[in-house]
């Protein structure tokens, strides 16, 4: 009996904090960590934020105009990356940054996750709805595969 207590004490000492096994990393958990990385790079005005986009990512931005029509814009990740790299120094000078709220994660299957949120761009206080689809790339590194936003209506 004393031997069992000794083995149990030894196993407790050798068990990592938080339990005897690590929980499997779910796609949603990986997406949360990826989004935290994205926000951290943005806050530091790091041009490396561009590398979080897949070259084939679909970037779609649209805005409802005062007359009710919709203005659409789209590009690929490969087209978006150079613009992000150019914007970062200017954003740092203006102290422009984003705040996110109502962030929600939805597992889409096959390792991909949809992240929806409200984005507030400061100092202009510009608000938009944003949807990202993120997931692993060919090398296993997580990337943004879709970046879709709808800007608020333009008012006169």
> What CATH architecture does domain 27-151 belong to?
Roll (3.10)
pLDDT at 99: 87
pLDDT digits (tens, 9 = 90+) for 5-33: 433 443 444 444 444 444 558 999 999 99
Q: What is the mean pLDDT of each run of 10 residues along the chain (156 residues)?
A: 41 44 76 96 93 97 85 94 91 83 96 94 81 96 95 66
pLDDT at 79: 97
* Alpha-carbon span 155 to 51, nearest angstrom: 35
Q: In whole angstroms, what separates CA 64 from the centre of its chain? A: 25
pLDDT at 122: 76
**Sign (positive or negative) of CA dihedral 26, 27, 29, 34:** positive
What percent of the chain clears pLDDT 70, i.e. is strictly above it?
81
pLDDT at 146: 97
Domain parsing of the chain, residue ranges: 27-151
Q: Is the pTM of this model over 0.85?
A: no
pLDDT at 114: 98
């Amino acid at each position: 009996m004393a031997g069992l207590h000794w083995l149990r004490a030894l196993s407790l000492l050798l068990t990592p904090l938080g339990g005897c096994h690590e929980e499997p990393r779910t796609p949603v958990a990986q997406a949360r960590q990826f989004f935290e990385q994205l926000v951290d790079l943005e806050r530091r005005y790091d041009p490396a934020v561009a590398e979080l986009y897949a070259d084939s990512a679909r970037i779609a931005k649209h805005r409802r105009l005062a007359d009710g029509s919709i203005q659409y814009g789209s590009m690929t990740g490969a087209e978006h990356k150079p613009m992000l790299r150019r914007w970062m120094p200017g954003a740092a000078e203006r102290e422009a940054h984003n705040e996110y709220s109502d962030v929600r994660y939805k597992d889409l299957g096959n390792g991909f996750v949809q992240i929806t949120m409200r984005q507030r761009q400061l100092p202009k206080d510009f608000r938009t709805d944003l949807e990202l689809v993120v997931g692993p790339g060919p090398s296993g590194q997580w990337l943004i595969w879709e970046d879709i936003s709808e800007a608020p209506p333009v008012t006169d």
